[in-house]
Chain A
Amino acid sequence: MFVVDDHALVRSGIRAELGDAVDVVGEADEVGAAVELILERVPDVVLLDVHMPGGGGRAVLEQVLREVPTVAFLALSMSDAAEDVIDVIRAGARGYVTKHISGTDLVDAILRIADGDAVFSPRLAGFVLDAFADPAHGLIVAPSIEPGLDQLTPRERQVLRLLARGYAYKEIAKELGISTKTVERHVSAVLHKLQLSNRYQLTSWAAERRML
């Protein structure tokens, strides 16, 4: 895997947390170098800081995925700004975790991403629930090419809610009486909708949180 973060302290912290569990093939502290090195070394997973000078994580995502679409990105951030987080997900990141995440959870998330799954931290689940709020609540929704993309199924909503409550995939599976694989499928579906739905073209949805 590969670490992109503009703070050396964070990078070394991450390396220390990861230990031997994953093989770190390189790191970079700015957009240009990151793109160059990632394209050169083609890691399985890139751990990407959302906020970086020179275009942020989004710029790295776009430039790399244009060349090598197989690289999986996991966004890592302190940000509470829903727009920023949703933005990198829409640009192609497969998951989002906060920098609070424990070492073991991070390793777990990286492995999961490497397997092609999506990783939702509770906070991201909260953001997504907020974003996919019932349109009846006053959110203006741009017309979608595929109508189904603008809504979550009740099951997806359930899964997201449990994620936001702090449940792990395994616990969600147990709670809902489904297999872990099914949970993963739901989460991937949500991720897909998040990336394709027109809903988030509206920039300020999170700023104007719905006041019910």
Chain B
Amino acid sequence: MRDVPTYRPELADGVRDVPHSSAGVPVQGLGIIRRRSSSSATSLSPPPAGGAAGPTPAHRRPMRPFQRSTGDSILGGVCAGLAARLAVKTAVVRVAAVVSIFLGGFGILAYMAMWVFVPVADEEESIASRVVGERRELQIVLALSSALFAVLLVTRSLGVSDLGVPTLTLLVGAMGALVVWRGASTAETTRLRERLNAAPGVAGAHSGWRRMAVRTGTGIVLVLVGVGELSRTGSFSGAALGVFVGTMLFIGGFLVLFAPWWIRTLRDLSTERRERVRAQERADMAAHVHDSVLQTLSLIQKAAGDPREVVRLARSEERELRYWLFNPERLGRHGQRPESLAEAVAVIEREVEDSFGVGVELILVGDCPMDDGLSALVGACHAATVNAAKWSGCAQVAVFVEVERSTVSAYVRDLGVGFDPALVPGDRQGIACSMVERMERAGGSVAVHSTPGVGTEVELVLPRPTSAR
């Protein structure tokens, strides 16, 4: 078992156990996946371990199959999976992997290969086989890889070829990342996104300012390094005119050859994104219908014997649905202070209809943000509506609220029994008083018009503060 291919002897120094396995085992993993899918995938990211496919350990004790870990993963779960397979500590494998990156970038290649070719613990297919199986994914990956390849060729022709092995490694690494991006299952993508979001410098920085500073800083450093490298290799000297022209021709040719394809692929990508958004919307809609309408319908069936309850349920569902469809801004957020008058009066409608089984016909003209005065108005309006619902004996209460430039007025009207305001006993004036007091404190006024047998109307008028006009 010590016949490990010698292209990775570096690992042997620090960690005794890792080298024999980190080379041998992935091979096995590769072998499994190969059966299905490697022929075309090899052209994308040549598996570095491919050459070592020969020595399959036959006499080893039965071990768990090599699968990428889901729980204990940092990126693709390769190291954790490997560690589980080898029964060593995850940290050991991780250190080895990091060390191997500095040895000609080999670690990156190996990691990418394993990421792409080894399936995740709870999935059947590897990323590579998924990409190869989907024609469009394959096309996208090929298109983007060709673009990467073009960039590489251009860089080379500019005379920066001394970058050599690291550049190539990075290129293959980027291709691997591409394949992962396109081929990873939804579950894995979600996991990855969470990981990346938690990583510092991506979105982990708390304030937007810090995040931007990190990004700008990184960008500037990279640009400076690039410029330094270019001027060092001297391709900017005057003698390089021929090279420059050649490069331009080369780039032009590449564009003519591949640009339409790239563009089409990109368009496909955006179409796909749109479709995803649409599917998401449809799912939201279905979820809403399920949560509200279907739920209410079944409640109604259960309460079929109680007409009052049926009416209440139907009414509240209708109101919710109506707002959801036409006035989402009025839905408000449960348990939060309403921010606009529309939201606040919608709460009145909701609460009165739900608690008293009386219909509230709410007409609102205009809208404005809530302030203390308006809170008083809405409170008084609520009290008036509750009164009408409770005492009028009428099945419908009309609430009209209008925002004008200098005033906000609210009218609560019912066609119920009515009363003679002069005959209301002193001890029953509590609510009227609370309405009047509240409105007067806010600088507004209340008028109650009621005729026995005809109905009642409460008029609430509040001048608007000049600053808000």
Where the two chains meet, the residues of A that have a C-beta atom closer than 8 Å to any C-beta of B are: 78-81, 100, 122-123, 125-126, 129-130, 133-134, 136-137, 161, 164-167, 209-212
Task: Note all chain B residues with C-beta closer than 8 A to A209.
Answer: 342, 366-367
- Residue B322 is within 8 A (CB to CB) of chain A in the complex: yes
Known: A80-B326, A212-B468. A126 touches B405 (CB 8 A): no
B363 at interface by CB-CB < 8 Å: yes
Most buried by A among B327, B363, B367, B411: B363
* Cα-based distance from A134 to B469 in the complex (angstroms): 13
For the complex with contacts A80-B323, A212-B368, 11 further pairs of A-B residues with Cβ separation under 8 Å are: A100-B359, A122-B400, A126-B363, A129-B402, A133-B365, A165-B411, A166-B413, A166-B415, A211-B340, A211-B369, A212-B469
Asked if A80 contacts B400 (CB within 8 A), the reply is no
Known: A129-B402, A211-B340. A166 touches B361 (CB 8 A): yes
Q: Which residues of A contact B464 (CB under 8 A)?
A: 212
In the bound complex, residues from chain A placing their C-beta under 8 Å from that of B366 are: 130, 133, 137, 209-210, 212
A139 to B368 Cα, complex, angstroms:
15
What is the CA–CA distance of A165 and B322 in the complex, to the nearest angstrom?
Answer: 21
Contact between A130 and B322, CB atoms less than 8 A apart:
no
Q: Which of B340, B405, B415 contacts A137 (CB 8 A)?
A: B405
Distance in angstroms between the alpha carbons of A130 and B368 in the assembled complex: 13
- The answer to whether A130 touches B365 (Cβ under 8 A) is yes
CB contact list, B384-426 vs A, under 8 A: 398, 400, 402-405, 411, 413, 415
B364 cross-chain contacts in A, Cβ below 8 A: 126
Q: In the complex, which residues of chain B have a beta carbon less than 8 angstroms from the beta carbon of A164?
A: 363, 365, 400, 402
Q: Can you spell out 8 A-B residue pairs with CB atoms less than 8 angstroms apart?
A: A125-B363, A134-B404, A165-B363, A165-B411, A165-B457, A166-B413, A209-B367, A211-B340
Does B239 sit within 8 A of A, measured CB to CB? Answer: no
Residues of A within 8 A of B404 (CB): 134, 212
Cα–Cα, bound, A166→B394 (Å)? 13
Chain B nearest Cβ from A85, distance in angstroms:
10
Establish whether residues A122 and B369, one from each chain, have CB atoms under 8 Å apart when the complex forms: no
Question: B368 near A126 (CB under 8 angstroms)?
Answer: no
Residue from B403, B468, B469 having most chain A Cβ neighbours under 10 A: B403
Closest residue of chain A to B469, judged by CB?
A212
List B contacts of A130 (CB < 8 A). Answer: 365-366
Whether A80 and B327, one on each chain, are in contact in the complex, defined by CB atoms closer than 8 angstroms, is yes
Contacts of B368 in A (CB 8 A): 211-212
CA distance A167 to B415 in the complex (A): 10
- Shortest Cβ gap from B170 to chain A (Å): 50
